Structure 1
Amino acid sequence: MIKKIAYFLLMAFPPLIINCQSIQENVKGSFNTTFTISKKTTHKINKKQKYTFGYLEVPENRQDSNSQTIKIPVYIFKSRSKSPKKDPIIYTVGGPGQTTMPSAQYMEYYKYLDDRDFILIEQRGNYYAKPHLDCPELAKATFRSNLPDFDETEYDVLVAKATKDCRNRLAKKGIDFDGYNTNEIAADINDLVNILEIEKYNLLTISYSTKIAQVLMRDYPKKIRSIVMDSPLPLESNYDEESVKNLLETVDKLLSDCEANEGCNNAFPKIKTRFYNYLKEKTEKPLEVKIDNPNNGKIETFNLTGADLIGVFTIASTEDIVNIPYEINKLLSDDLTSVKEQLSYLFQESNYGSGLGMRLSVWCAEEYPFSSQSIIKTETTKYPEVKGLSSETFEEEICKIWGVQKVSEIEDLAVKSDIPVLLINGEYDNLTPPKWANSMSNNLVNSYQFVFKGWKHTPTTNWGNPCAMILANEFFNNPKEKPNSDCFEQIGSPEFKTE
């Protein structure tokens, strides 16, 4: 049933900073850029929170002297301190294709505002930017392809048509698809810094937006004081070549940790071997699962292979980690209650198309061209546990349809810098594994790395435990030293549920 790992290197939570006293109603900058204050915001903001909201207007494509302009929403939240530090934090989330703006509603939870201003900037092409590169056509195609009565032989044709329809619709609006990439986003942030006359600033980035940070530190390093990269995605990594391998390595680590834990191993002996054998078995002879279609009451039949059943791990959040061996054991015991619950969600259409056009432009210009199609093909068939699970985010035909230009070779090369950087990872993050950040640290001479035991993707957005946010804030306050918060030392290995 599953065609590929449809990951979003995501997460969305906000903040940034700057001295707003000098902001005018309409401020002009380089490249015909302006920042215009607006009373109408994207979200309702707590009345106690002081802020400025406006739109940064920039060229859609800086390589085209005749480019039209686009508008990018920006929140500038004032620090809670009576004497805030002068270097604000600029924050943008992951994706590509995820919106930063919803974070604006939750500033009371952001510890960064205790010390300095916090600036949220939307990435061009995302939900609240003007224009917004949405693709509801692809959302509908994805929904259709996941239903049990779908003929998988029609998948490629269905997705190709949806991609063409989306591109044609956006093209009629005059969209220049080559203007939506990491380089342009980095230039947007640099323009904002200049137009607001910020002398020094800090960057808070997560997942995909850590690539934006790397471009900024390479191309516009002068004003950057420090950077936090949560769940880093290195420029030099070839994501599509590694995603299946990274997934299995992470699952292997978690199950090995269960076997090394006396209580978990006693409750679920040899769980790793039994789970892998189960996945292989179901790949050869799919698991038949019948559920009631919540839309019409009709009984529907799903046939699940190992590529589908590995979802026991992939759909889990950090909070769910402790339950994974228990859920796997349920599956091995033919208890399908959790599986049926998850399958029922496939009958609900979602707004998955939001920002997907932006994601296509970034991926097809920056990731797909540098990935080996032969390696990807091998990865799809290499692992018998999940045979058929593609590591490719967008297939060759889809990127050909989208038709964006390949970026320069430098965008696939590691960045070297002495700017202070804090690298944060979750131990069980298969999307951006800790090994990537560890490799990056060789080129970032003033960097520190923290790997959170038992956690998954983007630890700084874990509202249940703000320790990663606390570490990040400590680092912003003193980037020349490794943060030393007691909360990190108190995080032990996960206590797996056994009954």
Structure 2
Amino acid sequence: MKFNLLPYILVTIFSSCQNTQETEQIFKSSFSESKETTHKIPEEQNYTFGYLEVLENRQNPNGKTIEIPVYIFKSRSDNPNKDPILYTVGGPGYTSMRASKYMEYYKYLDDRDLILFEQRGTQFAKPSLDCPEWAKAVYHSNLPNFDSTKNDSLFQNAAKKCNERLRKNGIDLNRYTTNQIAADINDLINVLGIEKYNLATMSYSTKIGQVLIRDYPDKIRSVVMDSPLPLEVNYDEESVKNILESLEVILNDCKADADCNNAYPNIKTRFLKYLEEKTINPLLVQIENPINGNLETFYLKGKDLITVFTSANTGSVSNIPFEIKKLLDNDLSSVKERLKYVFQEPKKGIGQGMRLSVWCAEENPFNSQEKITLETNKYPAVMGLSPAVFKNEVCNIWNVKKVSKIENEAIKSDIPILLISGEYDNETPVKWAESMANNLTNSFHLVFRGWKHGPTTNWTNQCAMQAANDFFNNPSIKPNPECFAEIQSPIFKIEDK
């Protein structure tokens, strides 16, 4: 079911935008409705679906265009507020469109329309920068008989093949960056004739939000940044440190809990020592290959076994001390269950090319390779665990232009902003949001106790989304929903007696 786009003005316009690293150009952008959607939407949900058409290269007004899918979901309110929310997810390289099927759970629609925006280069955009070559490399590198000395050449070759194929298809890989996505969003807002709007962002898309705040602030009423990734942070230089710091927080909480501490005494020291031992003498694990029935042997080091923490989500954090204890007792049942997924067929590498373009243009150029090497070898418990998303050699092969220095600098703003963090988030830790708040003079920060990455997407407890919606309704006040006060540290699972 659709709804009339008024009061949005659906016209083709000529808009001019100032990009921070490219010369101002005038270009044509438009939005066209489409009957064919990316997903089947429940009949009771009113919406419009269509494509935003923009230039791939804003420096070339006569160049090729790309198409970006957009949903506009109508509010459940009979008298909604006129300032809609625009939502786009993290990544980079992840699709926003999957959320379209679940709008009944989005509290934002109680008060406003919600625009669901796909980032250029991702799954349902045209083109989508997919890299099945990379997905196959991931698959082969995880197999038990893979020669790890060939790991670098495997991924370099995958990057080379994908890069060559995408360029041969006429794709300008230099144009798939955060500031281009922000310009796309600004175009959409102008095309739809929206006077004021709110931003809901999460993880990587908080970088898009920061660029919008910096470059196109005039129409932004308020912003929610869930699990923020600051522009100025060099992710690749500290991600291992962040894992260990977040692990320490949760194991300290176990120690402070009498029942957990009695069940798992001195668990932090024991676990780190265990990981260090396995790094020197890897854990041998044998499982039956679910595809052919053969017995397969894995040798797991500390950097592999730390996934007992990193792979847990908010809903399973209460089990982490229990799962660690199983490892310490040589109960490998959970490890074997996770290893079965290694034999699943390779994925399609959807959006991987976009991820490579963003990372190799915006993160890698500002990295200190010396710091990355030190971080890789600094911690005995996870020795050899690289903090880098992509190795420098892979980015050299991907060969995209470095973005301007401003893309690695903190923004300053007095726009109302709500920062949301999960206490145990090792991907975008609490300290990053705390640091950002120093430059955001009209911001609030909520830390959800016992939660991990992406609190607003925790479907078992929608308190963070409620807080975000409360903020959108009144951005001058720090939200304090009743549910927030009720959140306590997790009740840790105690092993059965």
Distance 1:397 1:135 in 2: 17
Distance 1:280 1:357 in 2: 35
Q: Give the Å deviation of 1:351.
A: 2.2
Q: Which residue of 2 aligns with 1:21?
A: 6
Instruction: Describe the superposition over 1:25-65 as per-residue Cα deviations: whole angstroms up to 9, x where unpaired.
Output: 76334221010111111111111111111000001021334
Q: Which residue of 2 aligns with 1:423?
A: 419
Q: Which letter does structure 2 place at the counterpart of 1:313?
A: F
Q: Give the Å deviation of 1:256.
A: 1.1
Q: Please give the secondary structure, in 1, of the residue aligned with 2:146.
A: coil
Instruction: Describe the superposition over 1:154-213 as per-residue Cα deviations: whole angstroms up to 9, x where unpaired.
Output: 111111111111111111110000110000000000000000000000000000000000
How many residue pairs match? The answer is 482
RMSD: 1.2
Q: Which letter does structure 1 place at the counterpart of 2:432?
A: W
Instruction: After the TM superposition, list the runs of 4 or more consecutive aligned residues in structure 1 that deviate by more than 4 angstroms.
Output: 22-26
Q: Which residue of 1 aligns with 2:479?
A: 483
Where do 1:241-280 residues align within 5 Å? Answer: 241-280=237-276
Q: Give the Å deviation of 1:484.
A: 1.8
Q: Which letter does structure 2 place at the counterpart of 1:33?
A: S
Find 1:97's aligned residue among 67, 90, 93: 93
Find 1:492's aligned residue among 480, 488, 491: 488
Distance 1:231 1:176 in 2: 30
Does the 8 Å contact 1:19/1:86 carry over to 2? Answer: no
Q: Which residue of 2 aligns with 1:13?
A: none
Distance 1:268 1:262 in 2: 10
* Structure 1 pair 19–265 and aligned structure 2 pair: CA distance change class (3 A): farther
Q: Please give the secondary structure, in 2, of the residue aligned with 1:345.
A: helix
Does the 8 Å contact 1:29/1:191 carry over to 2? Answer: no
Find 2:68's aligned residue among 41, 66, 72: 72
Distance 1:220 1:258 in 2: 45
Q: Which residue of 1 aligns with 2:23?
A: none
Distance 1:63 1:275 in 2: 54
Aligned: 1:194 with 2:190? yes
Find 1:237's aligned residue among 233, 251, 271: 233
Q: Which letter does structure 2 place at the counterpart of 1:244?
A: V
Q: Which residue of 2 aligns with 1:4?
A: none
Find 2:319's aligned residue among 311, 323, 338: 323
Does the 8 Å contact 2:255/2:265 carry over to 1? Answer: yes
* Structure 1 pair 19–241 and aligned structure 2 pair: CA distance change class (3 A): farther
Q: Which residue of 2 aligns with 1:5?
A: none
Where do 1:348-427 residues align within 5 Å? Answer: 348-351=344-347, 353-427=349-423
Instruction: Describe the superposition over 1:429-482 as per-residue Cα deviations: whole angstroms up to 9, x where unpaired.
Output: 000001000000000000000000110000000110000000000000000111
Aligned-pair identity (%): 65
Structure 2 unaligned segments of length 5 or more: list them. 16-26
Aligned: 1:161 with 2:157? yes
Does the 8 Å contact 1:97/1:356 carry over to 2? Answer: yes
Aligned: 1:37 with 2:33? yes
Q: Which residue of 2 aligns with 1:184?
A: 180
Distance 1:446 1:190 in 2: 22
* Structure 1 pair 55–80 and aligned structure 2 pair: CA distance change class (3 A): same
Compute the TM-score of the two structures, normalised by the length of structure 2: 0.96
Q: Give the Å deviation of 1:22.
A: 4.9
Q: Please give the secondary structure, in 2, of the residue aligned with 1:388.
A: coil
Q: Please give the secondary structure, in 2, of the residue aligned with 1:354.
A: coil
Where do 1:79-158 residues align within 5 Å? Answer: 79-158=75-154
Find 2:288's aligned residue among 281, 292, 303: 292
Does the 8 Å contact 2:202/2:227 carry over to 1? Answer: yes
Distance 2:402 2:201 in 1: 24
Find 2:309's aligned residue among 310, 313, 325: 313
Q: Which letter does structure 2 place at the counterpart of 1:476?
A: F
Distance 2:168 2:447 in 1: 46
Q: Which letter does structure 2 place at the counterpart of 1:210?
A: T
Does the 8 Å contact 2:8/2:194 carry over to 1? Answer: no
Instruction: Describe the superposition over 1:111-146 as per-residue Cα deviations: whole angstroms up to 9, x where unpaired.
Output: 110101000010000000000000000000110000
Q: Please give the secondary structure, in 1, of the residue aligned with 2:84.
A: strand
Distance 1:145 1:321 in 2: 28
Q: Give the Å deviation of 1:23.
A: 5.5
Does the 8 Å contact 1:26/1:36 carry over to 2? Answer: no
Find 1:461's aligned residue among 420, 437, 457: 457
Does the 8 Å contact 1:380/1:390 carry over to 2? Answer: yes
| Deviating more after overlay: 90-99 vs 29-38 | 29-38
Compute the TM-score of the two structures, normalised by the length of structure 1: 0.95
Does the 8 Å contact 1:27/1:36 carry over to 2? Answer: no
Q: Which letter does structure 1 place at the counterpart of 2:95?
A: T
Distance 1:417 1:449 in 2: 15
Q: Give the Å deviation of 1:69.
A: 0.5
Distance 1:296 1:345 in 2: 14
Find 1:447's aligned residue among 443, 447, 459: 443
